[in-house]
Amino acid sequence: MLSPRLLQIAMMVERNKVVFDVGSDHALLPCFLVENGICQKVYAGEIAEGPFSKVKEAIQKNELEGSVIPVFSDGLAKAADDVDIVVIAGMGYHTIRHILEQCDVSRYQYFLVQANNNIELLRRYLSEHYYTIEDEKVVYDGFYYQIIRFSADLHDPYTEKEIRYGPVLLKRRDEAFLAYLEDLRNKLIAINQQAHKEEYALTVKEIEEILYN
């Protein structure tokens, strides 16, 4: 069974598309997408020998040869021409940025990215490249994770507030997003009780404006 985080990513994959999962590790997501009839073909990319062996083992164990295809590759360097959707999940911002910088983003229909840190820097990067943030979800899986769907379609740069909290999240105000904001607010208040910092107080005020207006 997939974790809530990977399940949320799977739910954001359109049916019958060809997916390339960058940094697939155990190939959990590619196997799930094929076994549940969401995709007929998924590439499971890996850069490291150990995880790449696990990818091949998972394909064999689940008898998914020909449907889940292992690719030993740094990011999308060896991606085939038929890929529609790219998933880059469970990595830090700098690794994700490296992968995006090495590829032609406009070649793909959309990307699903989930950074384990620096989500604000990731949005700023997307904004600076005039990419379009098409969808965003927050999911709780021990931590609050954010998953961003973006494409190379041109978009005006996002505002500072949109970069900090997410343009789609701000508009939709999903339950998970509001719970994440409450959690963030409470953590900032707790930190601020020990080390009084103007910027924390301002951020708490900004979060409360989003939550209660």
Residues interacting with ligand SAM, by CB under 6 A?
6, 22-25, 45-48, 51, 74-75, 89-91, 95, 99
Structure tokens at 136: 């965003």
When the beta carbons of 33 and 163 are compared against ligand SAM, the nearer one is 33
Residue 70 pairs in a beta bridge with 44
**Minimum separation from the CB atom of position 113 to ligand SAM (A):** 11
Backbone angles phi, psi at 122, to 5 degrees: -65, -45
- Cβ distance to ligand SAM smaller for residue 6 or 39: 6
Asked if residue 134 lies in contact with residue 110, where contact means CB atoms within 8 angstroms, the answer is: yes
Start-to-end CA distance of the chain, whole Å, equals: 38
The least distance separating ligand SAM from the CB of residue 163, rounded to whole angstroms, comes to: 23
* Strand-pair partners of 86: 20, 111
Compute the least distance from the CB of residue 161 to ligand SAM, in Å. 28
Asked if residues 76 and 86 have their Cβ atoms less than 8 Å apart, the reply is yes
Beta carbon of residue 83, minimum distance to ligand SAM (angstroms, whole number): 14
Nearer to ligand SAM, 45 or 167 (CB): 45
